[in-house]
Amino acid sequence: MKIAIATANGAVSPHFGHCPEFTLALVEKGQVKEMETLPSPGHRPGVLPEFLAEQGASVVIAGGMGARAQELFRAKDIETIIGAQGPVREVLAAYLAGSLQVGEDACDHGRDRP
């Protein structure tokens, strides 16, 4: 399994589409075998789901993500975990241990605004 984490300054980025990079973790038998950081190819409609699918991601973790991106990931059978926060390594360890606590989606795309 490969897990992609939207990353900014070593922590989970609050906004998936605007993160500067992605941390990719190759996981085998519940253990991280390899980690790499790739720069984001940029925020354009549909680009990031395609990019992460090409990297082999089966799970994407972010602080927030718009509904359209979530739909595109679902269409590619890629799980999205939204509302995560904290240092990337801690979030990854908690996810693998089954104890990751997530809050509200940090992204406000598509929400009604006053």
What is the tally of structural domains in the chain? 1
In a domain, 105, yes or no: no
Count CB atoms within 10 A of the CB of residue 77.
8
pTM recorded for the entire structure: 0.90
Q: What is the pLDDT of residue 103?
A: 82
Does 104 fall in a domain? no
Average confidence (pLDDT) over 96-105: 88
Q: What Cα–Cα distance (Å) separates residue 37 from each residue in 21, 22, 40, 109?
A: 7, 6, 9, 26
pLDDT tens, residue by residue, 67-84: 899 999 999 999 999 999
Check which CATH number belongs to the domain holding 58 and give it. Answer: 3.30.420.130
Which structural domain range is residue 27 located in?
Answer: 2-95
